[in-house]
Amino acid sequence: MKDYIAEAERDLLHTYNRYQVVLDKGEGVHLYDIEGKQYLDFVSGIGVFALGYANKEYNDALKSQIDKVIHTSNYYYNVPAINAAKKLKAVSGMDRVFFTNSGAEAVEGALKAARKYAFLKDGKNDHEIIAMNHSFHGRTFGALSVTGNPHYREAFEPMIGNIKFADYNDFDSVMQQVTDKTCAIIMETVQGEGGIHPATEYFLKKVRALCDEKDILLILDEIQCGMGRTGYMYAWQKFGVKPDIMTTAKALGCGVPVGAFLMTEKAGQNSLVAGDHGTTYGGNPLACAAIDKVLDLFDTNHIIDNVREVSDYLEEKLEELKNRYDFIIDRRGSGLLQGLELDRPVGEIITKALDNGLILINAGTNVIRFIPPLVITKSDVDEMIKILEPCLS
């Protein structure tokens, strides 16, 4: 592994401080490095591999699509995209779908749609978007512009204009930023990278009502917290607070790079039209065959039922840890997206866990994030705790 790591550090742009492991293959909830060592995976490629690794039905669906055609172009129709869009609409309750290659691109499309919606109303170019402090929406310029972490933005200013920031879960602070020019409010339904903070029902409902009153579009970023992660297909469904535009990615393709932004019929009919937006790869037949199969397997394998059952147990076990160690100051999260906040940086603990065969990741400096494949069992939770606890003590 040392030789590969040295080579990687010579050739790849150093934009990540990577863990010292070269992963080779996966099976269920386990990954293996190239020396054959097994790891229990509580990261799932950051919320991507929801179905676990080497799922035969999923792999077979991809293989058969590869043998047919991988890519055509969005200038032509293809059946996998039609099927994927139909199923995605059914599980989300949204009306219109645009497929992208990644989460950040889904956010870009959502922002463009919101600006176009406002432009069509008054023909002006001065519309404002309200985003949240401590949010994360991706690394491209639009997505970065609404990411409420100055550290990510600092070296790349100027961002796109007319973005204002409010405090998450603080409706008064949103009200302070609203003007006649506000065209959209964007937020994660559960803040992921910012430290695993779920939106409160009160906050979501107040923001929804404000948006209805002023014809502002509510954009919910469900890229990390969507796709069953919280025990609902999309996290907003728990409270029935439906967005006008929603972004989804990560687990949507379970490893094939794909994302989407979805709109209500009203937002869809009054924003982007032919020529306004496009992508070469977005929603190609291979990516859409993946989405199609993922959504089938969510249904037939009762993924959401499993999330609800196992996440209660995970919460219980994490609460026990919190009660045993006074340096753990909080446990929070929703479903299988959980965080333990410590009174100190968690990097060393995560490295130690990795040495002991457990893959974990941080969310910010002081939070250990638990974002496992959605197919984990209670005994996987027990195994995780068994490895993590000695690292903590």
Ligand X SMILES: *Cc1c(COP(=O)(O)O)cnc(C)c1O
The residues of the shown chain that bind ligand X, judged by CB under 6 A, are 102-104, 107, 136-138, 188, 192-193, 221, 223-224, 249-250, 259
| Amino acid occupying residue 226 | G
- Cβ 154 to ligand X shortest distance, Å: 19
Nearer to ligand X, 194 or 285 (CB): 194
- Cβ 131 to ligand X shortest distance, Å: 11
Tell me the residue number closest to ligand X, measured at CB.
Answer: 103
Give CA–CA dist 307/269, Å, rounded: 35
- Cβ 64 to ligand X shortest distance, Å: 26
Nearer to ligand X, 147 or 182 (CB): 147
Closest Cα to residue 71, out of 303, 286, 225? Answer: 286
Q: Is 108 helix (H, G, I), strand (E, B) or coil?
A: helix
- Cβ 238 to ligand X shortest distance, Å: 17
Q: What b-and-e string marks burial along 212-231, b requiring 16 or more CB atoms within 10 Å of the CB?
A: eeeebbbbbbbbbbbbbbbb
Which H/E stretch holds residue 217? strand 217-221
CB neighbours (10 Å) of residue 241?
21
- Cβ 377 to ligand X shortest distance, Å: 25
- Indicate the burial class of 64 (C-beta count within 10 angstroms; 0-12, 13-18, 19 or more): exposed
Nearer to ligand X, 53 or 136 (CB): 136
Report yes or no: 372 and 44 within 8 Å, Cβ to Cβ: yes
Nearer to ligand X, 372 or 387 (CB): 372
Nearer to ligand X, 91 or 249 (CB): 249
Nearer to ligand X, 80 or 259 (CB): 259
- Cβ 26 to ligand X shortest distance, Å: 19
- Cβ 282 to ligand X shortest distance, Å: 12
User: % helix / strand / coil in the chain, to the nearest 5?
Assistant: 45, 20, 40
Q: What b-and-e string marks burial along 245-259, b requiring 16 or more CB atoms within 10 Å of the CB?
A: bbbbbbbbbbbbbbb
Report yes or no: 231 and 311 within 8 Å, Cβ to Cβ: yes
Nearer to ligand X, 223 or 391 (CB): 223
Give CA–CA dist 247/193, Å, rounded: 16
